[in-house]
Amino acid sequence: MDRVKAFLPWLLVLALVIALNALRLRPLGAVVAVAWLGYCVWTWFRPRPR
């Protein structure tokens, strides 16, 4: 069950992007996708407090 919880934010963002594309709001879907990618990269590579 913990593995499903780990993928829940990814699945929600994917569903949101697909829904925005289906509603012909592709620029907004692209912004959401790029913002999510930027957030993920920031959380992976941010400096950790010592």
pLDDT tens digit sequence for 3-31: 778 889 999 999 999 999 999 999 999 99
Task: State the Cα–Cα distance between residues 10 and 34, nearest whole angstrom.
Answer: 13
pLDDT value at residue 4: 79
Assigned token pair, 46:
């941010």
Q: Could you give the 3-state DSSP secondary structure of residue 24?
A: coil
Q: What is the pTM of this model?
A: 0.79
Task: State the Cα–Cα distance between residues 9 and 32, nearest whole angstrom.
Answer: 13
